[in-house]
């Protein structure tokens, strides 16, 4: 592999300076190399012999395709989702979702692509139950699209088949490799922040020029936003909840009292008053998770919910009690902290939503926290005593609960 700047991509990258200021600015932060085939891995783009055989206008569009993969950090996001889902992760489905999004954006920026090519509009039209709408780029990011194409719940297999048939018809081939870094490391977090800055400045330059990707950048739901990712917020909330404060226990004397009592006996002085020791309420902290499987929860949201269940189980050294519910608890499963693979239980579909049975059961378990993965289409009821409640919703609810912490997974 040539380790110098790409010769094959040179004409297209130079043409971007005039054709698309936003993509041209973003390309400066990418590594461009010639290689065996055209693909993206992290911030590195390689250009294969097939790229050089394309006409210049298609080279520009294909280079833009890969630059957007880098700017949107699709390699890093693929690695993070793979870490959360484990063996259930489908790399081809993720790449299909990512390619459909960037191709739709490239075409919306008035660039050409080698045909056939997957697009977001075409993919949504081909998959049963999904509609492209007038502006699909506004509504879809790569993770949401990944789950919508098949999340292991009712009806998902048909959608997966539709997506695969569409991909085959468009001669789809993967061109994205996951990042090899640790998705939870400080370096990855700082890298994400840098790319948010690069992308914001590039899109601003494109809007000022009035051409290319910059004209439609404000409508890209997949663009990195200047916020703390909700995954990190949820992890921090759960971690804070399971940090146990030692409680007084009358069955175990404090070490200090044992020492002073022994000294008093030796000195034949009065024994000091008893001082209780302190210990954690439980040897292993417990987290209760309520997974809302009522009829108001779409299948795509169930996939997001389940990804968070598995993520919480892997990241926290806590005993996990999963409750699947609608208007009552339909199934309850206990997982040990040592388990790294969580099979998806059968999910009921239908019924209303009632939170009180789940809250009462979490209190009976002595849980340190209850994470409710729900759309909040129901009455939260009165605030429970001694239980930290985290409401995790796929979108901002119509009304906020009167207690607990609300976390918008779609923000």
* pLDDT higher at 257 or 7: 7
Output the pLDDT for position 303: 64
Domain boundaries, the chain: 10-222, 251-279, 286-408
pLDDT bin (cut points 50, 70, 90) of residue 255 is confident
Say how far apart CA 345 and CA 57 lie, in whole Å: 50
Q: What is the average per-residue pLDDT within 367-386?
A: 86
Output the pLDDT for position 340: 56
In this predicted structure, the answer to whether residue 187 has a pLDDT above a threshold of 50 is: yes
Output the pLDDT for position 30: 95
Q: Which residues pair with 333 in a beta bridge?
A: 322
> Could you report the per-residue pLDDT of 336-361, keeping only the tens digit for each?
666 555 656 656 666 678 899 999 99
Q: Which structure tokens are listed for 171?
A: 């001669």
Pairing verdict, β 176-177 and 247-253: unpaired
pTM for this predicted structure: 0.66
> Could you report the per-residue pLDDT of 211-228, keeping only the tens digit for each?
888 888 777 888 765 555
Output the pLDDT for position 310: 66
Please write down the HEC assignment for all residues of 274-340.
CCEEEECCCCCCEEEEEEECCCCCCHHHHHHHHHHHHHHHHHCCCEEEEEEECCCEEEEEEECCCCC
> Could you report the per-residue pLDDT of 24-34, keeping only the tens digit for each?
999 999 999 99
Output the pLDDT for position 184: 59
Output the pLDDT for position 83: 80
Cβ atoms within 10 A of the Cβ of 263, count? 12
Peptide bond into 395 cis (omega under 30): no
In this predicted structure, the answer to whether residue 378 has a pLDDT above a threshold of 70 is: yes
> Could you report the per-residue pLDDT of 108-163, keeping only the tens digit for each?
999 999 999 999 999 999 998 888 888 899 889 998 899 888 744 444 557 888 99
CB 189 within 8 A of CB 236: no
Q: Which structure tokens are listed for 289?
A: 């998770």
> Could you report the per-residue pLDDT of 197-210, keeping only the tens digit for each?
888 888 888 888 88
> 84-108: b or e for each residue (b if 16 or more CB lie within 10 Å)?
bbeebbbeebbbbbbbbbbbbbbbb
Task: Kindly report the average pLDDT of the chain as a whole number.
Answer: 82
* pLDDT higher at 134 or 63: 63
DSSP 274: P
Query: For the structural domain made of 286-408, what CATH number should be given?
Result: 3.40.50.410
Output the pLDDT for position 142: 92
Output the pLDDT for position 153: 41
Output the pLDDT for position 345: 62
* pLDDT higher at 294 or 321: 321
Q: Which structure tokens are listed for 240?
A: 């804070």
In this predicted structure, the answer to whether residue 307 has a pLDDT above a threshold of 70 is: no
């Amino acid at each position: 592999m040539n380790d110098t700047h790409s010769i094959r991509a040179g004409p297209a990258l130079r043409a971007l300076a005039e054709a698309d200021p936003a993509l041209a600015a973003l390309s400066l932060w990418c590594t461009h190399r010639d290689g065996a085939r055209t693909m993206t891995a992290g911030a590195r783009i390689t250009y294969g012999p097939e790229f050089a055989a394309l006409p210049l206008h298609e080279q520009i569009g294909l280079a833009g395709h890969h630059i957007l993969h880098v700017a949107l950090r699709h390699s890093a996001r693929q690695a993070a989702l793979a870490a959360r889902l484990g063996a259930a992760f489908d790399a081809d489905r993720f790449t299909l979702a990512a390619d459909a999004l960037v191709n739709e954006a490239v075409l919306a920026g008035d660039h050409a692509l080698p045909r056939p090519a997957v697009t977001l509009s075409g993919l949504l039209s081909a998959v049963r139950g999904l509609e492209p709408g007038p502006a699909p780029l506004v509504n879809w990011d790569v993770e949401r699209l990944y789950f919508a194409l098949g999340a292991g719940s009712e009806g998902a297999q048909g959608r997966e088949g539709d997506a695969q048939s569409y991909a085959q018809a468009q001669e789809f081939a993967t061109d994205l490799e996951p990042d090899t870094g640790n998705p939870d490391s400080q370096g990855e977090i700082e890298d994400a922040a840098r790319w948010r800055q690069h992308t914001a400045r590039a899109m601003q330059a494109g809007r000022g020029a009035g051409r290319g990707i910059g004209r439609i950048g404000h409508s890209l739901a997949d663009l990195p936003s200047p916020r703390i990712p909700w995954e990190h917020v949820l992890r921090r909330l759960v971690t804070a909840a399971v940090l146990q404060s030692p409680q007084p226990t009358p069955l175990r004397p404090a070490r200090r009292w044992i020492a002073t009592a022994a000294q008093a006996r030796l000195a034949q002085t009065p024994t000091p008053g008893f001082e209780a020791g302190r210990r954690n309420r439980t040897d292993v902290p417990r987290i209760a998770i309520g997974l809302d499987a009522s009829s108001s929860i779409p299948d795509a949201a169930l996939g997001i919910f389940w990804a968070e269940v598995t993520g919480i189980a892997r990241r926290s050294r806590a005993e996990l009690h999963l409750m699947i519910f609608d208007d009552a608890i339909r199934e309850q499963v206990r997982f040990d902290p040592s388990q790294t693979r969580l099979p998806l239980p059968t999910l009921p579909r239908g019924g209303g939503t009632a939170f009180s049975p789940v809250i009462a059961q979490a209190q009976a378990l002595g849980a340190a926290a209850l994470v409710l993965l729900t759309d909040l289409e129901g009455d939260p009821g009165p605030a429970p005593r001694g239980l930290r409640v985290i409401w995790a919703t796929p979108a901002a609810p119509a009304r906020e609960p009167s207690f607990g912490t609300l976390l918008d997974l779609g923000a």
